[in-house]
A and B are shown apart, each in its own frame.
Chain A
Amino acid sequence: MSETTVQTTRINKTCMTLGGVALVAGIILALVGAMSGGGDPHAFQHGYFFGWTYWACMAFGCFGVSLLHHAARGHWGFPVVRIFEAGGGPITLAVFFAALIPVIFGWREIFYPWADAARVAVDPVLQHRAPYFGGFFAIRYVIYAGVFILLSLLNQNWLRQEERTGDDRWWKKRQYWGGLFLVVYVILTNFMWTDWMMSMYDHWYSTIYGVWIMVGSALLAFAFTGIVLGTQYDKVPYKGVVVPWLTKDIGNWMLTFTMVWAYFSLSQYLIIWSGNLPEFTKYFIDRSLNGWIYVGWSLIVIHFFVPFISLLSPTVKRQPWRLALVGAWILFVRLIDVWFVVTPTWKTSIGINAVDIGMFLFFGGVWMLLFGWRLAQAPLITTMTPRLKEAVDHA
């Protein structure tokens, strides 16, 4: 067994163990929480969607970032592309698409005003949107799932062929199609989040919303990559590959997406605040009452200033373990942000219950198990990629 395979198995075991524990703990907590009730008759469904959203963002983020790498051909991506592929590969995407079926088909009346016939009957805006949310809603779901899984499958196959044969036409193929795939990804992701999250509001909409969630997802993917590099830099096969330029590049990506997230958040808030129109302000009013405003204010500090200032430092980006710490912090603050974006939609009072935590752990467990499993399917570093040598030389 080669050193590469051994190391892959070690990471794989860690992820599988973590994933298994999180999965079991999540199920127990969710069941306890659901049985104790707590005043919310739909606590389970709400917790389910919250947990799913965070980890689906991770999966979609990994997939998107892998496309970004294929399109941009940056050196930074060669040593870590398998992390993205394992985190957002076709099977992972398929599982997360399947896990949404209960929400958008089974519990749609709980989440979506357009699915409530009584509300639609008295609301002209919902009536106007009715054709879009009729049968076409299900067709769109099939399109999103089908296209994402297909693109991911193609990229995965090309990567494996490249690994097997060493023929550079496979990486050229990934790069050749990368730009177009990225365009398709951005457009579909926007409509996906509009369908599944934005449409939980009857009138509110924001044109930046889709890319805003997309940027948060990419940030999650890079933060997780930072953690992997930070914990594996001195072990094979990363030893000698995780060098300062690589951690610096990944750190710079984290910094970039932190800034873009803040820029989009501020733009969205400022424009809606200034316009002060009732159909738009509803979103922020929900997030400013009953203590939610403190979460919003704290996000400015914990989600922007803390990672921003940390990642400005070259020392942090050069030392893998420090980068891993910042990555872990970003995973945590993304959780707060997803909670702030998702939960106030249906919950006026601030608070988190056992189901929310349980479902977060459950889906985290599912993602980690899938990640560990998929990571073990091929060498951690795509050794046959011609440009990997360039990337290492570049160090």
Chain B
Amino acid sequence: MSLIDMNKHEMITGEWDNRSIDGRIGDIVLDPNRHLEAKLPGLLGKLLPQNMRSPWFVMAGIGFVFVNILLLCVTILVLTGIGVWGNNQPVGWGFDIINFVWWIGIGHAGTLISAILLLLRNQWRNSINRFAEAMTIFAVMCAGMYPLLHTGRPWVAYWLFPYPNVMALWPQFRSPLIWDVFAVSTYFTVSLLFWYVGMIPDFATLRDRATSAIPRHVFGMLALGWTGSAKAWHRYMHASIMLAGLSAPLVLSVHSIVSFDFAMAIVPGWNTTIFPPYFVAGAVFAGFAMVIMFSIPIRKWYRLEDFITMKHFDWMAKVMLATGLIVAYGYMMETFYGWYSGQSAEMALLYNRGNLANTPYSWAFYSLILFNVVIPNFLWIPKVRQNLTALFWISLSVNIGMWFERYVIIPISLSRDYLPSSFGYYTPTIVDFGMFFGTIGFFVFMMFLFIRFLPMINMFEIKELWHHMSHHKEHGHDVVATGEAH
């Protein structure tokens, strides 16, 4: 029996051994034995925007409650000023920047899955790229709120852009904070465009399948007159590749620039050259964790087992493990070179992070190590990668750990820098917590709105895979390795 034959059932169920893991990836998304028997429209029916089921109401409802908490907190903040946050000297950056970096990181998996895997012709991305891209959009929205509100006067945030004005205002281009404005706004624009362009053929399908006037008109407008002609497809594929080419460097540049926000400063623990790659790896780490966390329940609730298979989880877990190891390497380098430097401020920082008995924040550092280094290393075990419950909790651990990473970087360094006379302690307020959980609610709410109104799995790419499979079956070939050959 060939590796491929052995793999056909196991890929759906997750009951594979090492041999089947190495089977060809053309079989990942669709099982030729079962899905070619089914009619394509029936198969695609599962991918249409999902009807409201009880989990939808629960999750969207919880999300909506927290959106309101977010709105309340933002209102208090705008009316009162950012003094309602816990930020104060010497910790000028608190939850706002921690959450900003955390959310931006989460957004990275979408672009990585969509753009980089598209460029690498890895079609295993097909089932997960659409909602990963949606995550990017909503996560960047959550991220963008924080620096915007941190300006104190968000209504004049446009001053951050260089434009001719009578006030002689001009941004300080040497500041990485200004680079951030351009990096994040570019990232958001390109991600949105990529997401939208990716949905055009599916909008056309929804338009054609609509049974009432309003959806037909709305999806008709969104489909931009898509006819599905060969010429349209040709141009569409070119546009996708070009956007992917634009997006791929953005994955690196955005989080590198976010890391420069810290690394350019001479605060102890910040001015370190490993920051850019280690931030990028951390972003992918957190992003994949969120994709896994989200897709496990969604897969179950909407019966998407045929499309999001155990092999997807296995690969996503491996990416998470690999990036987690890079992040752990970053922690190791920070710690070792902190000691190696022989600088009193750097060594004091190590003391502040590591001494459980005499420092106020060491609990955060050890939580970080537990959540981000110890627990994710269970992913080395294949059985853990195939256990969705374990995978869910490990992904949650990674997201908590990545939040702690930013907590360790920001308040610990800022609260005790060079001058002992200005040492302080950072305490977040209820508004800080309200905004943090509010943005999580906003993210969940938006994701569930997306599931309700838009196809969360790429319909046209599934159609393409189905076509390849049936074509090859008709001609008596084995199923081709679509993931790599096309």
Contacts and interface: CB of A to CB of B under 8 A. Distances in A.
Contacts, number: 82
A367 to B, nearest CB: 28
B260 to A, nearest CB: 7
Given A207-B272, A208-B277, A271 B260 contact: yes
B364 to A, nearest CB: 21
A113 to B, nearest CB: 12
Interface in A164-200: 172, 176, 179-180, 183, 186-187, 190, 194
Nearest to A393: B481
Contact of A73 (B22, B256, B274): B22
A69 to B, nearest CB: 14
B334 A277 contact: no
A378 to B, nearest CB: 23
Given A73-B22, A187-B329, A205-B340, A271 B271 contact: yes
Contacts of B329: 186-187, 190
Contacts of B333: 190, 207, 210
A173 B333 CA distance: 30
Contacts of A75: 484
A208 B256 CA distance: 14
A264 interface: yes
A142 interface: no
A96 B260 CA distance: 38
Contacts of A73: 22
A247 to B, nearest CB: 16
Contacts of B340: 129, 132, 194, 205
Interface in A294-319: none
A268 interface: yes
Contacts of B264: 270-271, 274-275
A126 B342 CA distance: 8
A394 B485 contact: yes
B275 interface: yes
B396 to A, nearest CB: 24
Given A186-B329, A206-B273, A208-B274, A125 B252 contact: no
A296 B265 CA distance: 24
Interface in A252-303: 263-264, 267-268, 270-272, 274-277, 279-280
B211 interface: no
Given A132-B340, A183-B325, A186-B329, A277 B271 contact: yes
A179 B272 contact: no
A103 B6 CA distance: 55
Contacts of A125: 341-343
B266 interface: yes
A40 B485 CA distance: 58
A91 interface: no
Contacts of B252: 263
A209 B333 CA distance: 10
Interface residues of A, number: 41
B433 interface: no
A126 B340 CA distance: 10
Interface in B258-292: 260, 263-266, 271-277
Contacts of A172: 18
B277 A263 contact: yes
A128 B342 contact: yes
Contacts of A277: 266, 271
B161 interface: no
B449 interface: no
B334 A207 contact: yes
B170 interface: no
Given A129-B340, A187-B329, A187-B332, A271 B273 contact: yes
Contacts of A203: 342
Contacts of A270: 260, 264
A129 B342 contact: yes
Given A186-B329, A205-B337, A271 B272 contact: yes
Interface string A120-164: 000011101100100000000000000000000000000000000
B380 interface: yes
Contact of A271 (B263, B342, B484): B263
A275 B265 CA distance: 6
Contacts of B9: none
A173 B292 CA distance: 29
Contacts of A264: 277
A207 B337 contact: yes
A205 B337 CA distance: 8
B331 to A, nearest CB: 11
Contacts of B337: 205, 207
A55 to B, nearest CB: 26
Contacts of B468: none
A103 B256 CA distance: 37
A124 B342 CA distance: 8
Contact of B273 (A126, A129, A186, A268): A268
B24 interface: yes
Interface string B337-355: 1001111000000000000
B272 A394 contact: no
A86 to B, nearest CB: 26
Contacts of A132: 340
A108 interface: no
A276 to B, nearest CB: 8
A347 interface: no
Given A73-B22, A394-B481, A208 B273 contact: yes
A207 B273 contact: yes
Contacts of B325: 183
A383 B479 CA distance: 25
A387 interface: yes
Contacts of A209: 273
Contacts of B273: 206-209, 267-268, 271-272
Interface of B: 18, 22, 24, 252, 256, 260, 263-266, 271-277, 325, 329, 332-334, 337, 340-343, 380, 481, 484-485
7 contacts: A126-B342, A183-B325, A203-B342, A267-B275, A271-B263, A274-B263, A394-B485
Given A208-B277, A210-B333, A271-B271, 9 more contacts: A172-B18, A207-B272, A267-B275, A268-B273, A274-B263, A277-B271, A279-B341, A280-B271, A390-B24
